[in-house]
Structure 1
Amino acid sequence: MTPIDANSPLDIIFVPAQTGTPIGTIVVLHGWGANHDDLGELVPYFKLPEYQFLFPNAPFDHEYSDTGKMWYSFTGAAQLSDRSVTQLATSREILTTWIESLPDSTGIPLDRTWIAGFSQGGAMTLEIGLDLPVAGLIVLSGYLHQNRAKPPQAAPLVLLVHGRQDDVVPIAAAHKSRQILTQWGVDVRYQEFDMGHSIVPEVLDTVRSFVTN
């Protein structure tokens, strides 16, 4: 895996397509307290050799980890403090600007770019991706921010995947996200698995099918 700049203040890992010229880009956002290496190890298991992957580090250092990063801090039971809201706004601006610049740096248009995220990264996927003309959004064990504004009518297709035994982001959060997105007119594909707050092989199969079909 190769770090690249890509005209961004974010620290980014780039994994090129294994087949040469890529047919698409997949941006993957890590969860709270992890970093861009965490999900980068899954690239071979996605079995998407014709796609290039980009793994950005969140801009904020995690409070309780020397190596972890976060898109914003939590207070109490996943509540957002004034500091959290400010950090969320910063992450949203940085990510949006960077993703909008990707066609110039990668040569792949946004309509061939997918945004994926796990946990807090899944929340950020919905936060920024619903307003972008990307190919699709992949939310793994994530959630929709409570104050998220209704997206435009042209919001991209969304895949929500969640574990029934998730004790970090309860399954009820996924049900609520699906309900709200559907009410907004977003095309949502939803899948539950017998798993906790994790990514099992069946999840990767679901993601691969979503991207390629």
Structure 2
Amino acid sequence: MKYDIDHEFVGISSQTATHRIILLHGWGADADDLLTLGKEIIEKINLDFEVISLRASGLHPSGLGRQWYQLYPHDWEGAEVEVNKLLDTLKKFDTDQISIEKTILLGFSQGAAMAIDAGFKLRLGLIVACSGYPHPNWAPGEKCPPLIVSHGLFDEVVPIDASRIIHEMVRSKSSKFCELIEFDGSHQIDSGLIDFISSNINNFF
């Protein structure tokens, strides 16, 4: 399937798909990093999903993997540019066949920060932010999409307080579904997250 977007991607296509999951990888990873996760999610859900895993525009400073924007030092102006670019891409996925309301946006780490910043400007069916953090100027509006926040208690890369702040900010603004999952782990995606999404899918679609 071809899309006229400004991001490269890899995916799992379905000609009959009625729903979509879009994945945003972390700092230093690449588009194929979360594909297995996407496949496991759609195999658990009794809906016809396609999977799109977007590739960040920037090259990681190590020369391996990609970055959505520079870290160490943080380039917050660059982050804003990339959020707007991502927002344009997400809008182009809002089609007659699969609307944005039938889309899950899932990001990990830097990808989670991108997901909540761009995603909260859209009517997404669900946002999943794994081990993420809020950008300095990010604030949720009153019309927030449903949100699942997941973070390891022993994360030494992004402290869990970052996700607690996201959860508290959204809960103070919105009555939509908003769940914080804290798990025994470090900077990773919780193995129980897939079951949680699948068991709550009727809350979103």
User: CA–CA distance in 2 between the matches of 1:212 and 1:199?
Assistant: 22
> For the structure 1 residues 184 and 169, does the alpha-carbon distance in structure 2 shift closer, same or farther, using more than 3 Å as the test?
same
Of 40, 51, 54, 2:52 maps to: 54
What is the identity, as a one-letter code, of the residue corresponding to 2:16?
T
Shift in Å, 1:31: 0.4
Hey, what does 1:69 align to over in structure 2? Answer: 66
> RMSD across aligned C-alpha pairs, in angstroms?
1.9
Aligned pairs (5 A) from 1:79-90:
80=74, 84-90=75-81
3-state secondary structure, aligned to 1:42: helix
3-state secondary structure, aligned to 1:98: helix
Shift in Å, 1:7: 0.6
Of 153, 159, 171, 1:170 maps to: 159
User: CA–CA distance in 2 between the matches of 1:198 and 1:96?
Assistant: 25
> For the structure 1 residues 179 and 24, does the alpha-carbon distance in structure 2 shift closer, same or farther, using more than 3 Å as the test?
same
User: CA–CA distance in 2 between the matches of 1:121 and 1:5?
Assistant: 23
Of 129, 134, 155, 2:119 maps to: 129
What is the identity, as a one-letter code, of the residue corresponding to 2:22?
V
Hey, what does 1:22 align to over in structure 2? Answer: 17
Per-residue CA distance 1:44-67 (angstroms, 9 max, x = gap): 32224621111010111111133x
What is the identity, as a one-letter code, of the residue corresponding to 1:178?
H
Hey, what does 2:138 align to over in structure 1? Answer: 148
What is the identity, as a one-letter code, of the residue corresponding to 2:24?
L
Per-residue CA distance 1:74-133 (angstroms, 9 max, x = gap): 125xxx3xxx123212211221111111133x7201111111101111111100111101
User: CA–CA distance in 1 between the matches of 2:167 and 2:7?
Assistant: 30
What is the identity, as a one-letter code, of the residue corresponding to 1:158?
L
> For the structure 1 residues 171 and 52, does the alpha-carbon distance in structure 2 shift closer, same or farther, using more than 3 Å as the test?
same
Q: Is the 8 A contact 1:113 1:136 kept in 2?
A: yes
- Structure 1 unaligned residues grouped into runs of 5+: none
Moved more, 51-60 or 180-189: 180-189
Please state if 1:102 is matched with 2:93: yes
What is the identity, as a one-letter code, of the residue corresponding to 1:102?
F
User: CA–CA distance in 1 between the matches of 2:2 and 2:66?
Assistant: 18
Q: Is the 8 A contact 1:25 1:51 kept in 2?
A: yes
User: CA–CA distance in 2 between the matches of 1:200 and 1:148?
Assistant: 25
Per-residue CA distance 1:153-185 (angstroms, 9 max, x = gap): 221111101111111111111111111222222
Q: Is the 8 A contact 2:23 2:34 kept in 1?
A: yes
Q: Is the 8 A contact 2:143 2:174 kept in 1?
A: no
Aligned pairs (5 A) from 1:108-119:
108-119=98-109
Q: How many residues align?
A: 199
Q: Is the 8 A contact 2:115 2:127 kept in 1?
A: yes
User: CA–CA distance in 1 between the matches of 2:155 and 2:202?
Assistant: 27
Hey, what does 1:36 align to over in structure 2? Answer: 31
Shift in Å, 1:186: 5.6
3-state secondary structure, aligned to 2:124: coil
- Return the TM-score normalized by structure 2: 0.89
